[in-house]
A and B are shown apart, each in its own frame.
Chain A
Amino acid sequence: MHAFLAAEGPSAAIQAGGWFLENVWIIPAIMACSFAIILFFGKRMPKGGSEIGIAAVLACFVLSLLTGAQWISEVNRADNCVAVEISEGKYECESHEGAGEQASAFGEVLGAAEEESEGAYGAGLKAVVSERTWWSNGGVNFTIGTMADGLTVTLLAVVTLVSSLVHIYSTDYVAGDRRFTHYFAFLSLFTAAMLFFVTSANTLQMIVGWELVGVCSFALIGHWWEDQANSDAALKAFLTNRVGDMGLLIGMIVLFFASGETWSIIDINKLAIDHTTSHTLLLISALCLLTAVMSKSGQFFLHTWLPDAMAGPTPVSALIHAATMVVAGIYLVARLYGVFFEGLSIAGSSINALALIGGITTLVGASLAFVQDDIKKVLAYSTISQLGYMALALGVGAWTAAIFHLFTHAFFKALLFLGAGSVSHAVHSFNMKTDMGGMRKFMPTTYKTFLIGSIALAGLPPLAGFWSKDEILVGTGGWGFFEGKPHSNGAYTVMLIMGMITAAMTAAYMTRVIYLTFYGEFRGGHHDDDHGHADAHDAHHGDPHESGPRILWPLRILAFLAVTVGFLNLPPGFLGLPKGLTERFGHYVEPSSAAKYFPKINHADPSWSLAIFSTIVVLSAVAAAYWYYFVKVNRQSPAATELVNGPTSRSSVLKAGHTLLKNRYYLDHIYDSGKPVPAVGAGIVASLFGLAAGSALGFTLDNGLNQAFLPSLTWGLSLGTVVFGIVGLALSTGVGVASFVKKPLAWATNWTHENLLDATVDQVGVRSVQAAEAVYKHIDQGVIDTAVNSAGAGSSGAGGELRRLASGKVQQYGTIMFAGATLLAGLMIIII
C-alpha cells in the first residue's frame, strides 16, 4: 500500500514531529472513554455524568493547545532552517527523528522556499502521520492512524474549545432534563467522533468519523423524541446525510482505485497533484464527494435538513449544527484539496461546481434567513449561507480564507446560537415575533454579546468576520479581473458578486434579528404550556431575566474571541506591519506545496479598495434594515414586527418572491409531501431546477471533461428535462420524492411481492396439489386401482365358484387326487 511512498525520491520537505503531534490519537480516545464512562456510570454520579464530560473535554482542549503549540514550533524550526540556509548555504535541516521518512535534500528545501517567495507560506513541513494496521483483506493492509498538520490542529482547537464551552453551558441549559446523562454521553461521543474525523490519516477513517458524527447528530436532534416533529427532524437529517454518504462512499471508492489502491490522504493528494491519477476519475470522485459535502455542510439543494435540525437542544445546535459538524464537509474538501483542485480544475477557471454550489448556497441561505420568525432558524439559514461562503472560497482556490472563515465562524456562530439559547431560556420560546422584543432591558449581557456576534457575522471591521470574509472576496480574484491581471487562481467574478450580495443580505437580516429580539416592546409573557418540551423546564414564569453564570461566561469568552481572532490573519503588508505579525494563520495552517500533498495555489493580493467597498456595502445594508425596522416599524408601533402596509402587500412580484421564500424554494415539497402547488408556480420552479441541473451537467461535461459541445448539450438537456419532470410532478401532485419512495414505490414493490412472486410460489403449490389430485383421481384411482381391484374381484368370484370343490370331505379330495393320478399315469403311458 505504501509502495508509492517508498519509491519516491528524496523528499523536498521537512518532516515534522513531536510527542503531541505523533500521539494525537489520545485526544479522541479521551472523549471516547468519557462517552463509555458516562453511559455506564453517569447516572450514579452526583452531577449525572456531566462532570466527567467537562473534565474530559477540558483535558482535550489543553492537549489540543499543546499539540497546536508544538506544530507552531515545528513550523518555526522549518522557517529557521530555511533562513539559515539562505544566509549560510550549508545548514542541513533535520527531519524529526522517528517520523518515517528521510531528511530532505537541502537544495530542494531552498527551492521550495524560493517558490514561496511571498514568505507567508513557509517551508514545506510535512504532516505527522502515525499509522498501524487495522485490518487486511484480499492481501491488502488497511491502516488506522492519525495525521497532524496545521489544519488538524486548527480543527482540534476549534472543536475542543467550542465543545468545552457548550458542555459548561449545557449544565445549566438542560438541567433537570430526564435524559441529562444521555445528553452528555452523546456530547462526548460526538466530540470523540469529530476529533477522530479531523485526525484521520486516511479516507476510510474519514468515512467512519463522518458517519459517526452523523449518528450523534441524529441522536441529539432527536433528543426529545417523545415529540414526533423532533424525531422527524432527526430522521430527515440522517437520511439527507445518508444520501450524501452514498456520494462519499462512491467518491472514496473511486479515489481508492484511481490512486492505485490507497486510502492515505497524503498519497491520494500527491498522486492527484502529480497528474498521476486520471483526470476523469478525479472529476468523478470530486463530484461524488461534493454530494457528501452538500449534505453534511448544508449546501444547496441538500441543505433542508439543517433548519429542521434546530429541533435539538440549542447548545447542540451551536456545537454540531453551526460550529463543528457541519464544517466537516468543508474540512473534507480542504483535506483532499489536491483532488478537488485538480479534479475541478480550480486553477485558471472562472467557474466550477464547488464554487457555484457554494455561491448559490450562500445566496439561498441568506435570502431564506429573511423570512424566518424563529430565531434559531434565522441562525440556521445564516449557517447555511456562511458554509456556502466557505465552499465558495475553496472553490475559487482561497484555501486559507476558507479555513480562516471556518475558524472565525465557529466562534461567532456558536456565540449567536448560545445567545439565542440564553434568550429562549428566559422566554421559553424561539419565536421572535410572538415571544421576544425588548430583551436588551432584561438581558444586558446576552444582548451585548449577541450584538458582538452579529457584527462579526455581518463582517464589519475590525471584528473577526470582516477579516475572513474579506479574504474570501479577495480570493475570488477581487478587482483583478477588471484590471485584466488576476493574481488569484482564476477570475471568479460571478463569485465575487455573489459574495458581495450575501454580505449585504447578512448584515440586513442580522439587523432584523437584533431589532425583533432585543428592541421594540416585549411581546411575550403569555407563556402557553402546550409548547411541548419548551426546550427547558417550566421552572420560572413571569418576567424574563438574565441567565446564570454558566450560560453567560461561555458567551463572554466567545464574544472576546469573536472580536479578536480576526487579527490572527491580517493581510500581508497591512498598515506596514512586519511579516511576523501578518498572515500568521495562513503561515501556520496552510500546508506548503513543497510538502507535496497540497496543490500549488496562488494567493491573491489584498486590496484596500475591495475592503472599503465591501464595508460600504455592508454598512448601507445595515442602514437600510435599520431604517425599515428601527425607524419605520418602530414608529408604527413598538410592538409591531412588520409594516402593516409593507412592500410585499404592494407589489405582486415581491409577494410572489415572499411566497417562494416562505416555502423555502419548494425544496421540501420536492422531497416530502406537501400541498400541491398551482401549475404555473410548479412550472416556473420546475423549469428553474431543470435549467440549473441541466446546465450544471452540460457545463461539467463540456468544461470539466472536455467533451464536445453538442453531446454535452444533449446530456444536459436530458437531465434538465428529467429534473423538470420530477420537480414538476412532485410540486403539482404534492407527492415528494421521499414520499414517493415510501408510499407508491414501496407499496408497488410489496404488491409485486404479494401478488406476483409470492402468488407464483403459492400458485405453484396450489397447482401441484391440484395436479396431484388429478393424478390420484384419474390415474391412480381410475387406472391402476381399477386394475388391481378387478384382479381382486376376479379372484374373489373365482374363489366363490371354486369353494364348492372344497367340501371338506377328505374322500372327495382323495377321489379327485386319484382321478388325477390315474389321468397322469394314463398320459404317461400314452406319451412314453
Chain B
Amino acid sequence: MYLVQFLLLSAVLFCIGVYGVLVRRNAVLVLMSIELILNAVNINLVAFGAFNRDVGAAIPGEVFALFIIAVAAAEVGVGLAMVLTIYRNRKSIDLHQVDLLKG
C-alpha cells in the first residue's frame, strides 16, 4: 500500500467535485459536489494521519476528518435551506438565474 494511491484517489475525487461545482447548474448537485471536495480532503487527512503515525503529532489527522464531517453536515443543512429559499422565491434552482451579484 502506497500513500500515492490514496492521494491519487483524493485528487480524482477533488477534481470531480470541482468540476461539479463549476459546471453543474443544479444547486443540489453543486452541494453534492462540494461534499465530494470535502471528502477528498478527508481522504487526504486520514491517509497522511495513517502514514505519519510515527511522527507523533499531538492531534492525529483523523480528528480533523471527523471535524470536517461534522461541519459538512452543517454546511449541507444550511446549503439546502438556502436552496429551498431560493426555490421559493424564484421557482427554480438553476444557479445561472441566481445572479444578484451582477455588477
A residues neighboring B (CB under 8 Å): 802-803, 805-811, 814-815, 818
* Contact among B22, B98, B101 for A815, CB-based, below 8 A: B22
Tell me the smallest distance from the CB of B82 to a CB of chain A, in Å: 12
A6 to B101, CA, bound (A): 109
Is B99 within 8 A of A808, CB to CB? yes
> Counting CB contacts under 8 A, is B3 at the interface?
no
Is A806 within 8 A of B23, CB to CB? no
A818 to B30, CA, bound (A): 15
A658 to B72, CA, bound (A): 136
Chain A positions within 8 Å of B96 at CB level = 809, 811
Is B22 within 8 A of A811, CB to CB? yes
> Counting CB contacts under 8 A, is B21 at the interface?
yes
A802 to B99, CA, bound (A): 16
In the complex formed, the residue of B with least CB distance to A799 is B103
Is B21 within 8 A of A814, CB to CB? yes
Chain B positions within 8 Å of A805 at CB level = 103
A803 to B101, CA, bound (A): 11
A188 to B21, CA, bound (A): 119
* Contact among B18, B23, B98, B103 for A810, CB-based, below 8 A: B98
Is B23 within 8 A of A809, CB to CB? no
Is A818 within 8 A of B102, CB to CB? no
> Counting CB contacts under 8 A, is B95 at the interface?
yes
A811 to B99, CA, bound (A): 10
Contact status of A818 and B103, CB under 8 A, knowing A809-B95, A811-B23, A811-B95: no
A802 to B103, CA, bound (A): 9
| Residues B27-52 near A (CB distance < 8 A) | 30
Q: How many residue pairs at the A-B interface have CB separations less than 8 Å? A: 32
> Counting CB contacts under 8 A, is B100 at the interface?
yes
In the complex formed, the residue of A with least CB distance to B21 is A814
Is A807 within 8 A of B99, CB to CB? yes
Tell me the smallest distance from the CB of B51 to a CB of chain A, in Å: 22
Is B18 within 8 A of A818, CB to CB? yes
Is A803 within 8 A of B103, CB to CB? yes
Chain A positions within 8 Å of B95 at CB level = 809-811
In the complex formed, the residue of A with least CB distance to B103 is A806
A814 to B37, CA, bound (A): 14
A814 to B95, CA, bound (A): 13
Most buried by A among B95, B100, B102: B102
Tell me the smallest distance from the CB of B97 to a CB of chain A, in Å: 9
A806 to B102, CA, bound (A): 5
A806 to B101, CA, bound (A): 7
For this complex, into which size category does the number of interface residues on chain B fall? 10 to 19
A807 to B95, CA, bound (A): 12
Most buried by A among B95, B99, B103: B103
In the complex formed, the residue of A with least CB distance to B100 is A808
Chain A positions within 8 Å of B23 at CB level = 811
| Residues B71-103 near A (CB distance < 8 A) | 95-96, 98-103
Is B22 within 8 A of A818, CB to CB? yes
Chain A positions within 8 Å of B98 at CB level = 808, 810
Tell me the smallest distance from the CB of B30 to a CB of chain A, in Å: 8
A811 to B100, CA, bound (A): 13
Which 3 residue pairs are nearest across A and B when measured between Cβ atoms? A808-B99, A808-B102, A806-B103
In the complex formed, the residue of B with least CB distance to A818 is B18
Contacts A806-B101, A818-B22 aside, 19 further interface pairs with beta carbons under 8 A come to: A803-B103, A806-B102, A806-B103, A808-B98, A808-B99, A808-B102, A809-B96, A809-B99, A809-B102, A810-B95, A810-B98, A810-B101, A811-B21, A811-B23, A811-B30, A811-B95, A814-B21, A814-B22, A815-B22
Chain B positions within 8 Å of A803 at CB level = 103
Please, could you name 22 A-B residue pairs with CB atoms under 8 Å apart, sorted by A?
A802-B103, A805-B103, A806-B102, A806-B103, A807-B102, A808-B98, A808-B99, A808-B101, A808-B102, A809-B96, A809-B99, A810-B95, A810-B101, A811-B21, A811-B22, A811-B23, A811-B30, A811-B96, A814-B21, A814-B22, A815-B22, A818-B18
Chain B positions within 8 Å of A809 at CB level = 95-96, 99, 102
In the complex formed, the residue of B with least CB distance to A805 is B103
A803 to B100, CA, bound (A): 13
A805 to B102, CA, bound (A): 9
Tell me the smallest distance from the CB of A817 to a CB of chain B, in Å: 10
In the complex formed, the residue of A with least CB distance to B23 is A811
In the complex formed, the residue of A with least CB distance to B24 is A811
A269 to B96, CA, bound (A): 121
A808 to B95, CA, bound (A): 10
Chain A positions within 8 Å of B21 at CB level = 811, 814
Tell me the smallest distance from the CB of B32 to a CB of chain A, in Å: 14
Mask, B59-79, CB within 8 Å of A = 1, is 000000000000000000000
In the complex formed, the residue of B with least CB distance to A813 is B101
In the complex formed, the residue of B with least CB distance to A819 is B22
A818 to B101, CA, bound (A): 19
Tell me the smallest distance from the CB of B37 to a CB of chain A, in Å: 11
Tell me the smallest distance from the CB of B38 to a CB of chain A, in Å: 15
Chain B positions within 8 Å of A811 at CB level = 21-23, 30, 95-96
Tell me the smallest distance from the CB of B83 to a CB of chain A, in Å: 13
A807 to B98, CA, bound (A): 10
Tell me the smallest distance from the CB of A118 to a CB of chain B, in Å: 128
Tell me the smallest distance from the CB of A556 to a CB of chain B, in Å: 122
In the complex formed, the residue of A with least CB distance to B102 is A808
Tell me the smallest distance from the CB of A801 to a CB of chain B, in Å: 11
A818 to B102, CA, bound (A): 19
Tell me the smallest distance from the CB of A75 to a CB of chain B, in Å: 122
A815 to B95, CA, bound (A): 14
A814 to B30, CA, bound (A): 12
A810 to B99, CA, bound (A): 8
Chain A positions within 8 Å of B18 at CB level = 818
Chain A positions within 8 Å of B22 at CB level = 811, 814-815, 818
Tell me the smallest distance from the CB of A191 to a CB of chain B, in Å: 103
Chain B positions within 8 Å of A810 at CB level = 95, 98, 101
In the complex formed, the residue of A with least CB distance to B30 is A811
A802 to B96, CA, bound (A): 20
Tell me the smallest distance from the CB of A803 to a CB of chain B, in Å: 4
Chain A positions within 8 Å of B102 at CB level = 806-809
Tell me the smallest distance from the CB of A309 to a CB of chain B, in Å: 100
Most buried by B among A803, A806, A807, A811: A811
A803 to B102, CA, bound (A): 8
A818 to B21, CA, bound (A): 11
Chain A positions within 8 Å of B101 at CB level = 806, 808, 810
Chain A positions within 8 Å of B30 at CB level = 811
A805 to B98, CA, bound (A): 15
Most buried by A among B18, B22, B95: B22
A568 to B81, CA, bound (A): 139
A815 to B103, CA, bound (A): 18
Most buried by B among A803, A807, A809: A809
In the complex formed, the residue of A with least CB distance to B101 is A808
Tell me the smallest distance from the CB of B73 to a CB of chain A, in Å: 22
Chain B positions within 8 Å of A808 at CB level = 98-103
A810 to B83, CA, bound (A): 14
A269 to B73, CA, bound (A): 124
Tell me the smallest distance from the CB of B21 to a CB of chain A, in Å: 6
In the complex formed, the residue of B with least CB distance to A810 is B95
A818 to B33, CA, bound (A): 15
A36 to B89, CA, bound (A): 102
Tell me the smallest distance from the CB of A90 to a CB of chain B, in Å: 134
